[in-house]
Amino acid sequence: MTKHELVARIEKETHLSHNMVRNVVQRTLDHIRDAVTQGQTVELRNFGTFELQPWRGRIGRNPKAPHEEIMIPPRVVVKFRPGKKMRQEVLQLDPGNY
């Protein structure tokens, strides 16, 4: 699902204007992004949690030249942990369909 599809669904369910729904969705995403990039954990009940996770630097290998060592620098990534309700619903899915 894309952001456009999400806006269209909410627009249809709420009968609000497309621009109003698009602005609310975009502002919500902007606030989530801003909070996470400032190091805050964003918890959305029954949906999930966004948080930062540091990764240590390490030495890797180039698959095309396995004898060469490559330094992979440390970095910070965003980690998403699904909420209880989402986790339960995903566990009931048939793996053969994906």
* CB-count burial class (<10 Å; 0-12, 13-18, 19+) for 13: exposed
Domain edges within the chain: 1-40
Structure tokens at 8: 């269209």
Angle at alpha carbon of residue 62, lines to 57 and 66, rounded to 5°: 115
Per-residue pLDDT tens over the stretch 10-39: 999 999 999 999 999 999 999 999 999 999
pTM, rounded to two decimals: 0.81
The rounded distance, in Å, linking the Cα atoms of 29 and 35 is 10
State what percent of residues in the chain have pLDDT above 90: 89
